[in-house]
Structure 1
Amino acid sequence: MLQELSVENFAIISSLHLEFHLGMTVLTGETGAGKSIIIDAMGLLTGGRGSSDYIRQGASKCTLEGLFTMPKNKELSTLLAELGIELDDESLIIQRDISVSGKNVCRVNGRIVNIANLRKIGEYLVDIHGQNEHQELMQSEKHLGMLDDFGGKELSRVKKQYEVLYKEYRLLEKKVRDRQKNEKEFAQRMDMLQFQQDEISSAKLVPNEEKILLEERNKLSNYQKIADALTTSYEAINGESDNSLDKIGYAMNELLSIESLDAEYKAISETVQNSYYLLQEASGDLSRHIDSLELDENRLNEVESRLEIIRQMKRKYGESIESILEYYEEITRELADADFLEGKSGKLEFLLKEKKAQLIQQGLKLRNSRKAVAKKLEKNILKELKELYMERTEFEVHFTENLEEQMTEFGLDQVEFYITTNPGEPLKPLVKVASGGELSRVMLALKTIFSKSQGITSIVFDEVDTGVSGRVAQAIADKIYQISEDSQVLCITHLPQVAAVADYQYFIEKEVVGNRTETSVRILDRKERVNEIARMLAGSEITKLTIQHAEELLNMAIGNEDK
């Protein structure tokens, strides 16, 4: 509920602070005194569209602030948590500043939020009904949502099951549609990948193969150079005319004869021995390589040919054999998936038909549930309208069954409220045939039914009683009071019957102070309420009889003992 409202430099209000209470509060005063300005301020605090036109002349900005009791609503708690808004003593403080530049700054418990999120929060806090809009009631596309709200948890469960199936159906439908749309491009890509796979596969690439081939080509290309070097080296070490190995052997034998005489001699002797044996081993290796050395022109051509294949593969598919093989694995997987999808193409369409059948079945179940709820709503509405002296009214929830191709996320049907207030006349859409007074009463009937289930803590009626009088006015007053038993109600009214049943009455007046128009608000005590209700009854000339009538209205009011 709204506990406090502060307004500064807003329209013709320079500064105003109001405290509100549970139950029903009415705001009365002369026409043009600024009653609707209070409602406008509440609307802006809960996400309404604002502009610099609201700023009082001469001020740089206007500031609105409201203190709300946090309603017990899981969805609102989740929303606040997502926005990082912390709760302090289960209260919400909303502040909105509008500057002359048009800039809006909105804060909830000190945290800045944008207008869209402020509006989301506001939907859980305040429900404002104006005399010219009647909100959802005058928008036939909103009637389905109102019916679903009335259906409660059971209908919500059936609706949720339909929504899940609907999302699955649309997702599957998109897959089929995308596949059909891109079928030609898909086929072309698969052909290309198949060619690439075959080409890479036929190359029979092996990791590290290129390095080995390059080394082999290097040897084959330098055959003569290698042969000359090996032969010359062997002759130098182990030649017949000048045998280096024999000479080192002589030196080794001589050093062996003296190595026991000195440690240094021994070290030199060991070095020469090692060199002798190493050269002897090298001589054997050189001899073996010389014996095995053979010029193979055919093998060189094979290596060159293989390296050319590798070069072509690298130019097309990757910088190395390893990257080419990775690409091969990648396209192989894609082709395998394509083969799977090719086989599944018909199955996808079958699954789509199957999902559609499930969706229609659930949609029919939802329709039947809604029709059962509609009968209950019709009965309750007629009961409420009877209490509002519309006992001869006929009210019907009209269903339009969509074709299968017109299924929506909301179901298989469109719903609109139909009404006739004249016996014998056919029912017609409510939005087209109801008068202002009738709309007010239908709206009050709906609001009486929904106020308990919707859980909105504050409901505002802005002159919704316009166009009625007499016993109808009293019935409307009683109905608004009945709504206030479940939700805080703030009501702007010109009807004395409505003012009389309220728990609290604020008087709004306009006066000129220092050549500036000011709007002020004050709460009325019992005597002041009698005088104000008398003014509402008689206008400017208040008589003793009018005072008595005002007293009588207050005494007859619901909950009179609390006034």
Structure 2
Amino acid sequence: MLNELSIKNFAIIEAISIPFQKGLTVLTGETGAGKSIIIDAVHLLVGGRGSAEFVRHGEEKAEIEGLFLLDDEKHPCYEKAKAFGLEIEEGMVILRRDIAKNGKSVCRINGKLVTISTLREIGSTLIDIHGQHEHQELMDETMHISLLDQFGADEIAAALEDYRQVYRAYDTTQRKLKNLSENEQQMAHRLDLLQFQFEEIQAANLQVNEDEELFEEKQKLGNFERIFEAVQSGYTALQSEQKGLDWIGLVMGHLQDAADLDPAYKEMYETVSASFYALEDVSTSLRNELELLEFDPRRLNEIEERLTEINGLKRKYGSTIAEILEYAAKIEEELETLQNKETHIGQLEQELSSLRKDLKLEAKQLTDLRKSWAKKLTKLIMKELKELYMEKTVFEIKFGTAGDGFTKNGSDKAEFFISTNPGEPLKPLSKIASGGELSRIMLALKSIFSKHQGVTSIIFDEVDTGVSGRVAQAIAEKIYKVSVNSQVLCISHLPQVAAMADTHLFIAKKTKAGRTKTTVTPLTIPEKIKEIGRMISGVEITDLTKQHAEELLQLANELKMAN
């Protein structure tokens, strides 16, 4: 849910910070007070198109920041954030957008700079803004199949995954066959290239870790003189007359005499004795090394040439010898395929034919399942529309076949159709023109899909325009019903909607020192009665108006208790 919204220097808003609660929050106020400006700010916060016109006159930039709290570890925002390398800690997502007076935007998510497209991707999982004439997911026919799948939940998801497993194998085989069926000239060029590469790698006769061993040997040859001098000096220090071993031997003799006289010196004698014989072994090893050490300039040249050859292959085929050999194995397999192309084409065609049969079966099962769930969804939507006094409306989900037969989502194309008056033909949902009808249809759909879409917050921006009376009451109840499953923020001019609010915010504008600014005030019960009375009567609020407002609030409370 949207927990808090901060807006600074945005349009006529100087600086406000609005805490939001769960459930239904209704924003009311006089026309022009800034209700829609607040929604505009939220729209920009989640990636809407920005403009320098939004920056308050005389200021350098507008600042919008929102804190969202996620109470579900499976919320789609987590997956999106992971894809963009963003971390979400303790279920908190902070979106921030600054718009400079030159029109440029700076976007951040949890303090990390992001692009506007990333902000839009993340924002789409947090807030769904619906205005009377704004086509959202429900109005986009390309999204109807995914909405139906969401409604079918785990049952359709399982069937779709079974289908996709076969589809992935089918798609891979199809691409292999297409690659093998390319024109002969391209195949011949490819074959020549692979043969050259494979022969070049084979001729090098590479050994794993060979380059590391050669480099180590090169280091030794390059430092030969210093190594020889150090070994020789070490041997001389140990073995020459009146040097290391002679003196340690002398110490060992003296301690042996002492140990023979007093056992207390035995341990010291044994320590020196062990050191003497160990150093004697070292001395012998050093002498052998000196006899073997020989500088060979030709070997150094051979190593340099071999390393140059290996580095040349690395530039072409991989950063390590292991990667080069792996690449060689890969192209050897492709070479074999190209050299025996006709045989492989036949095998792939057989495999593709078998996979196509499996795919048709999986696609049919998926289609049958979707049509079954479509009937359930249609029945629910008709029920919702009836409750909104659109009992003569006909809703239908029409199925077709996807363009090329099979896609990753199956072979189906589904679109929502509707007829709002008897005798009129069914038309695509996106072609509905009447604002009042559109509002009710959207609410009917939202009341069902809000449970399945996983969006944290839903904003209705004056979707109740053009309705009144019993329809207005029905719309108020539907908006509240949506708020049971998702946080709902609603700008409304209907007293019936305001009465259903869990939180009622009053938006007003004031003029101070020649400048206009917007204020947001949470209303108490008495203030709420007064505001609903104003919405009922217009300007003058009478005792009868207050009584009517109180009755609306009482009715709203009874309806909430019933739910």
Larger radius of gyration: 1
Matched, 1:79 2:76: no
- Give the superposition deviation at 1:426: 3.2
2:533 is aligned to 534
Residue in 2 that maps onto 1:186? 187
Question: How many angstroms does 1:560 deviate by?
Answer: 8.0
Q: In structure 2, what is the equivalent of residue 414 of structure 1? A: 413
Q: Secondary structure at the match of 1:416?
A: strand
**How far off its partner does 1:110 sit?**
1.8
Task: Check the 8 A contact 2:11/2:37 in 1, yes or no.
Answer: yes
Q: Does residue 1:361 correspond to 2:385, yes or no?
A: no
TM superposition shift of 1:93: 2.1
| Structure 1: distance between partners of 2:447 and 2:558 | 18
Aligned pair in 2 of structure 1 residues 193, 359: CA closer, same or farther (>3 Å)?
closer
2:40 corresponds to which residue? 40
Aligned mates of 2:35, 2:129 — CA distance in 1 = 14
- For structure 1, the 5+ residue unaligned runs are 199-317, 319-325
Which amino acid in 1 is paired with 2:136?
A: Q
Q: Which amino acid aligns with 1:100?
A: K
In structure 1, C-alpha distance between the alignment counterparts of 2:151 and 2:387, rounded to whole Å: 20
Structure 2 match to 1:296: none
Q: 2:428 maps to what in 1?
A: 429
1:552/1:172 CA distance change after superposition, 3 Å: same
Matched with 1:342 is 342
Residues 134 and 440 in structure 1, CA contact (< 8 A), matched pair in contact too: no
1:481 aligns to 2:452 (yes or no): no
1:364-513 correspondence runs (5 A) = 364-402=364-402, 405-433=404-432, 435-513=434-512
**2:455 is paired with a residue of what secondary structure?**
coil
Q: Report if the CA contact (8 A) 1:420-1:428 is conserved.
A: yes
CA distance in 1, matches of 2:190, 2:27: 73
Q: Deviation per CA, 1:394-446, whole angstroms, max 9, x where unpaired? A: 2111112347x443333222211111222343322222245221221121111
Seen in structure 2, the aligned counterparts of structure 1 residues 52 and 166 have a Cα distance that, compared at 3 Å, is: farther
Q: Which amino acid aligns with 2:355?
A: K
Structure 1 residue 196, shift from structure 2 partner = 13
Q: Distance in 2 between matches of 1:462 and 1:432?
A: 20
Aligned pairs (5 A) from 1:226-375:
336-375=336-375
1:99 aligns with 2:94: no
SS in 2 for 1:557: helix
Q: Counterparts of 2:52 and 2:123 in 1: how far apart (Å)?
A: 21
The 3 A distance-change label for structure 1 pair 193 and 446 is closer
Shift of 1:332: 8.4
Structure 1 residues 425 and 179, CA gap change in structure 2 (3 angstroms): same
Local SS of the residue matching 2:97: strand
Identity %: 52
Q: Give the Cα separation in 1 of the matches to 2:330 and 2:84.
A: 43
Verify the 8 A CA contact 1:134 1:443 in the aligned structure 2: no
Which structure 2 segments of 5+ residues have no match? 200-312, 314-324
Kept in 2, the 8 Å contact 1:134–1:439? The answer is no
SS at match of 2:181: helix
Deviations 1:466-494 (A, max 9, x none): 11110010011011111112221110001
TM-score, normalised by the number of residues in structure 2: 0.71
Partner Cα separation in structure 1 for residue 447 and residue 480 of structure 2? 10
- Which residue of 1 is the match for residue 27 of structure 2? 27
Task: Give the direction of change, closer, same or farther, for the CA distance of 1:197–1:478 in structure 2 (3 Å limit).
Answer: closer
Asked if the contact 1:501/1:559 (under 8 Å) is kept, the reply is no
The alpha-carbon deviation at position 36 of structure 1 amounts to 0.9
1:4 maps to 4
Counterpart CA distance in 1 for 2:531 and 2:489 is 17
**Aligned partner of 1:32: which letter?**
G
1:446-465 deviation digits (Å, cap 9, x = unpaired): 11112222232211111111
- TM-superposed CA distance for 1:543, in Å, is 2.6
Matches of 1:438 and 1:432 in 2, distance apart?
12
Partners of 1:448 and 1:196 lie apart in 2 by 62
* Structure-2 residue corresponding to 1:138: 139
Give 1:115's aligned residue: 116
Note the C-alpha offset of 1:96. 1.4
Q: Measure, in 2, the Cα distance between the counterparts of 1:340 and 1:386.
A: 66
Q: 1:309-340 CA distances to partner (integer Å, 9 max, x unpaired)?
A: xxxxxxxxx9xxxxxxx9x9999877544334
Conserved in 2, the CA contact under 8 Å of 1:395 and 1:418? yes
1:58 aligns with 2:58: yes
User: What is the DSSP-based 3-state SS (H/G/I as helix, E as strand, rest coil) of the residue aligned with 1:21?
Assistant: coil
Distance in 1 of aligned mates of 2:195 and 2:100:
66
**Mapped contact 1:398–1:418 kept (Cα < 8 A):** yes
Q: Which residue is 1:156 aligned to?
A: 157
Alignment-derived partner of residue 552 in structure 1? 551
- The separation in 1 between residues aligned to 2:411 and 2:188, in whole angstroms, is 37
2:463 alignment partner, SS class: coil
Distance in 2 between the 1:191 and 1:561 partners? 77
1:142 partner amino acid: M
TM-superposed CA distance for 1:559, in Å, is 5.6
| Residue in 1 that maps onto 2:299 | none
What is the CA–CA distance in structure 2 between the aligned matches of 1:554 and 1:12, rounded to whole Å?
32
* Superposition RMSD in Å: 3.0
Paired letter, 1:374:
A
Q: Is the 8 A contact 1:125 1:457 kept in 2?
A: yes
Q: Which residue of 1 aligns with 2:524?
A: 525
Q: How many residues align?
A: 434
Contact map agreement 2:28 2:35 (CA 8 A) in 1: yes
| Comparing 111-120 and 36-45, the one that deviates more | 111-120
- Within 2, Cα distance between the matches of 1:107 and 1:432? 37
Deviation of 1:536 after TM superposition, in Å, equals 1.1
- Match of residue 171 from structure 2: 170
Q: What is the one-letter code of the residue matched to 1:398?
A: K
Q: How far is the alpha carbon of 1:522 from its aligned partner?
A: 0.9
Identify the range of structure 1 (69-78 vs 380-389) with the bigger mean alpha-carbon deviation.
Answer: 69-78
Q: In the TM superposition, what whole-angstrom CA distance separates every residue of 1:127-163 from its partner, at most 9, and x where no partner exists?
A: 2111111412322222222111111111112223333
- Tell me the distance in 2 between the aligned counterparts of 1:394 and 1:515: 55
Question: Greater CA deviation, 488-497 or 526-535?
Answer: 526-535
- Does the 8 Å CA contact 1:93/1:108 hold for their aligned counterparts? yes
C-alpha distance after superposition, 1:235-263 (max 9, x if no partner): xxxxxxxxxxxxxxxxxxxxxxxxxxxxx
Cα distance 1:190–1:128, how it changes in 2: closer, same or farther (>3 A)? closer
CA distance in 2, matches of 1:84, 1:8: 29
Contact in 2 for aligned 1:13/1:519 (Cα 8 Å): yes
TM-score by length of 1: 0.71
